[in-house]
Chain A
């Protein structure tokens, strides 16, 4: 049973956050490419290849010689904290609002007192969050496209090469929002849901780094969801890049959707506590 009223309200709830992230992601590629262009390529290569120890270079996921190109430098924008954290914050904040956020505010009681099935409320929120994330990724890619086409590196880089990395960002958003919604469906406090997701995020990040830096603990990297977030490896726009994207996004979106489904099941069965 679909409810247009709930759909509109959910978009209203995420409008301000979405708008501010849209502005950030619209501006970020222009600023990033503008600032990067001020550093000469030779100087950049010197810093990158000489100053950073060889062991640490493993962390980039791609050879540093590739990073030290125009394409590589644009690709680094996708692993910049501005993009990664914004994608994560979108997923965690919207996902955590699915159940525990509304329970904590006490508004869930008034909505569910109406003849609205729990699954309608939950799935509407999930779809709106995923669509919102997709819109943000479209804005990010559009901004990268225009910043390349009309910016200082016009003609040096093909902007179509960055479509797979942008879709990988979308995969990360679905994964984080699904995980957050799954935890939210079991919880009654949003602060705790966010805390659990932050712990998960940090653990995943550290696991990935440990896997990268230690040969004996190489397997640990596969335990991290960030193992499937490698936008810098997807730059190129060749068939192999799309295949790799399919693999990575299959993992990320698969985890996200599975978590959404499990969360939906838990939410439909659980007792709802009175407003706290």
Chain B
């Protein structure tokens, strides 16, 4: 466990930015943080780096307390803030030189390679760079640091589509190199395609934790009933459930491989069969859409949800 928080809370007067947050991130995984603005993602990340003192609870990175041993935490961490502000009077190359000198584990040559992959012109002065270019410059530095934990707060915000794809590729490469990546984003597809596990935050709380591998196995099956109501056989009762049923239509949900389910479905009198993967957006909507149907969604997320 490289990152662990125990009942981590942060309040600003009556406003609770983070409440009883319990997160455990394994070494070598890409861990996603999802949530709308103000959900507490950045507060959680900044608490991990020791920028903020928790009101209660504790957080540790690589075994070091995030507040009292923050320097040692930051020795093991590479962090990209939500809005990377760099030294405006310096040129891109000078910024990379500065951070490479500041950290022994920052590989200057790798900085240039990443900047090249992101198609960034480092000869330009930071004050003359666009927001996206500054983001690329910060990413070039952050991803060139050889440390066990990489924390990226909305790394693809302000980037063009090709740079986004390149950043996601770099994140996957970091995992291949044995690093742990914590990745916050508003873009569900990015999280879904990159992360191993994701937590959904809502109003300072961890609303749900979801394994992407498990999510990929979930499917929804929509069909028109031509015959009698179907009875789920005992052998499939642990993997399939009825989400919605009327006299003529049925919606089922499968939580495991479709192979066994398809065999059973082929024996039923169904027509207009439609099978869709349950995407992360469905999970996210459940926790954040005001008008969601609690009863419907509960069946989807019962196995992993840990709502407060």
Contacts and interface: CB of A to CB of B under 8 A. Distances in A.
Contacts of A262: none
Interface string B68-100: 000110110111011111111000000000110
Given A107-B87, A272-B51, A115 B74 contact: yes
B96 to A, nearest CB: 12
A115 B85 CA distance: 18
A107 B86 contact: yes
Interface in A67-122: 105-107, 109-117
A109 B88 CA distance: 14
B85 A106 contact: yes
A107 to B, nearest CB: 5
A195 interface: no
A109 B85 contact: yes
Contacts, number: 62
A113 B49 CA distance: 7
Given A271-B52, A272-B51, A115 B81 contact: no
A9 interface: yes
A266 B25 CA distance: 32
Interface residues of A, number: 23
Contacts of B88: 105
Contacts of B78: 113
A206 interface: no
* Residue in A105, A269, A271 whose Cβ sees the most chain B Cβ within 10 Å: A271
B53 A106 contact: no
A115 B75 contact: yes
Contacts of A43: none
Contact of A274 (B74, B79, B82, B138): B82
Contact of B86 (A110, A112, A269): A110
B51 A271 contact: yes
B71 A109 contact: no
Interface in A1-59: 1, 3-6, 9
Contact of A5 (B71, B84, B102): B102
Contacts of A112: 49, 51, 74
A5 B86 contact: no
B55 to A, nearest CB: 10
A9 B52 contact: no
A272 B52 contact: yes
B101 interface: yes
Contacts of B224: none
A5 B101 contact: yes
B101 to A, nearest CB: 4
A135 B169 CA distance: 51
A63 interface: no
A2 to B, nearest CB: 12
A111 B90 CA distance: 14
B130 to A, nearest CB: 16
Contacts of B117: none
B85 A114 contact: no
A112 B73 CA distance: 11
Contacts of B85: 105-107, 109-110, 275
Interface of B: 42, 46, 49, 51-53, 71-72, 74-75, 77-79, 81-88, 98-99, 101-103, 138
Of all A-B residue pairs in the complex, the 7 with the closest CB atoms, nearest first, are A106-B85, A113-B79, A115-B75, A5-B101, A115-B74, A272-B51, A271-B52
27 contacts: A3-B102, A5-B102, A9-B98, A105-B85, A107-B86, A109-B51, A109-B85, A110-B81, A110-B86, A112-B49, A112-B74, A113-B74, A113-B78, A113-B79, A114-B102, A115-B72, A115-B74, A115-B75, A116-B71, A117-B71, A272-B51, A272-B52, A274-B42, A274-B46, A274-B83, A275-B81, A275-B85
Given A113-B81, A275-B81, 20 more contacts: A1-B71, A3-B102, A6-B102, A106-B83, A107-B85, A107-B86, A109-B81, A110-B81, A110-B85, A110-B86, A113-B49, A113-B79, A114-B103, A115-B103, A269-B53, A271-B52, A272-B51, A272-B52, A274-B42, A274-B82
